[in-house]
């Protein structure tokens, strides 16, 4: 009797676990279904080549926002990636030192800071002093968000590089710096690329910190000192508007975002797979 009860309980739990997997897949399927079906019908050439038209008119696109997103993300990446890669290299090569521990701890901490708070910080250092919302302030926020991810993945993946490679270089009389730059870093390049791609995937969909740094702008601009529109903020503004035509564009923007983010994640996965194969020595 007791045994039957125990087996039944066990079976029930197994079923519940399978249920949990299905329950989690449901929203994923639903979100993707709506984004694709709603987005694809509104996605056209004008979306990529035209800026917004005056409210009430139909047509137009998000070309200015796409340019803005590229600019803000690109400027953030240009600063964050070198710093992150070097910091990650230090953390991996001098693992036990106090600075390495502090860097790792700070990166993990920063990784857990809500993006909206990073936005407030970017506002304080890049908007307030200049009395001006700007593309630059937006890129400060996104750069700070990329930093911990690049640092940590660089570190983790440098550690995957076989120790024998380092020893070989050092045994040939190379300095530490030379060993790192000519042997370790090139070997870990797929790993570093992974870090960069993951960081891009993460910030490409960011909205919150841009709301009060890059703000928005309905015109084309390439001036980093001006407010600039971005894909995500545009989707947010359009979603909260009352016009169905803008809603359609918001869905198209969401589709583009999902495609960008998924592509980055997939590429990151391939890059890591290569490095892991190397580590296993095949």
Partner 1 sequence: MPSSTRSDDTLFKVGTGAVALIVPAVVVGIAVMLWRDSRLSIHEFGWGFWTTATWDPVSGVFGARPFIWGTLYSSILALLVSTPIALGIAIYISELSPAWLQRPLVFITELLAAIPSIVYGLWGIFVLIPFIRSIELATPAAMKALPLFSGPPLGAGMLAAATVLAIMVIPFSSAVAREVLRAVPQAQREGAYALGATRWEAIRMALFYGRTGIVGAVMLGFGRALGETMAVTMVIGNTPQVSLSLYKPQYTMAAVLANEFAEAATPLHIDALVEIGLVLFAMTLVINAISRAFIWSLGRQTRTRVDPVPAVPAAEAA
Structure tokens at 141: 């926020």
- Within 124-143, the residues that bind partner 1 by CB under 8 A are 124-125, 128, 133
CA distances, 15 to each of 6, 12, 255 (Å): 14, 5, 34
Residue whose entry in the numeric block shows the structure tokens 């919302």: 133
Residue 53 in the binding site for partner 1 (CB under 8 A): no
181 DSSP 8-state letter: I
Structure tokens at 72: 């803000």
**Three-state secondary-structure class, residue 215:** coil
Q: Given candidates 42, 93, 158, 184, which one binds partner 1 under the rule CB under 8 A?
A: 93
Shortest Å distance, C-beta 177 to partner 1? 4
Report yes or no: 103 and 151 within 8 Å, Cβ to Cβ. Answer: yes
Q: Given candidates 46, 50, 121, 189, which one binds partner 1 under the rule CB under 8 A?
A: 121
Residue 156 in the binding site for partner 1 (CB under 8 A): yes
- Within 242-281, the residues that bind partner 1 by CB under 8 A are 247, 250-251, 254, 257-258, 261-262, 265, 268-269, 272
Q: Given candidates 1, 45, 177, 242, which one binds partner 1 under the rule CB under 8 A?
A: 177
Query: Which DSSP string do the residues of 119-167 spell out, in sequence order?
Result: HHHHIIIIIGGGTS--HHHHHHHHHHHHHHHHHHHHHHHHHHS-HHHHH
Considering the complex, state which of residue 178 and residue 225 has its C-beta at the smaller distance from partner 1: 178
Shortest Å distance, C-beta 194 to partner 1? 6
Residue 172 in the binding site for partner 1 (CB under 8 A): no
Structure tokens at 118: 């990073």
Shortest Å distance, C-beta 60 to partner 1? 18
Residue 107 in the binding site for partner 1 (CB under 8 A): yes
Structure tokens at 235: 């989707």
- Within 188-207, the residues that bind partner 1 by CB under 8 A are 194, 198, 201-202, 204-207
- Within 56-75, the residues that bind partner 1 by CB under 8 A are none
d(CA 148, CA 103): 9
């Amino acid at each position: 009797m007791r045994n039957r009860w125990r087996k039944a309980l066990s079976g029930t739990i197994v079923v519940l676990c399978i249920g949990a997997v299905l329950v989690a897949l449901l929203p994923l399927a639903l979100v993707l279904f709506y984004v694709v079906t709603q987005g694809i019908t509104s996605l056209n050439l004008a979306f990529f080549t035209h800026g917004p038209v005056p409210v009430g008119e139909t047509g137009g696109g998000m070309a200015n926002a796409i340019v803005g997103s590229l600019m803000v993300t690109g400027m953030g990446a240009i600063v964050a990636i070198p710093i992150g890669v070097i910091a990650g290299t230090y953390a991996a090569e001098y693992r036990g030192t106090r600075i390495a521990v502090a860097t790792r701890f700070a990166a993990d901490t920063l990784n857990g800071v809500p993006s909206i708070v990073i936005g407030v910080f970017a506002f304080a250092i890049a908007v307030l002093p200049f009395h001006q919302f700007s593309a630059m302030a937006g890129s400060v926020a996104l750069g700070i968000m990329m930093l911990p991810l690049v640092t940590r993945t660089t570190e983790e993946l440098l550690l995957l590089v076989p120790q024998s490679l380092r020893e070989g270089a050092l045994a040939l009389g190379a300095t530490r710096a030379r060993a790192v730059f000519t042997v370790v870093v090139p070997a870990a390049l797929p790993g570093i690329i992974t870090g960069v791609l993951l960081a891009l995937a993460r910030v490409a969909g960011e909205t919150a910190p841009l709301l009060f740094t890059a703000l928005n702008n309905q015109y084309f601009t390439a001036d980093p000192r001006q407010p600039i529109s971005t894909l995500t903020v545009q989707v947010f503004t359009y979603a909260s508007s009352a016009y169905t035509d803008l809603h359609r564009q918001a869905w198209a923007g969401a589709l583009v975002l999902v495609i960008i983010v998924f592509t980055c994640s997939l590429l990151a996965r391939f890059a890591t797979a290569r490095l892991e194969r190397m580590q296993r020595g095949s």
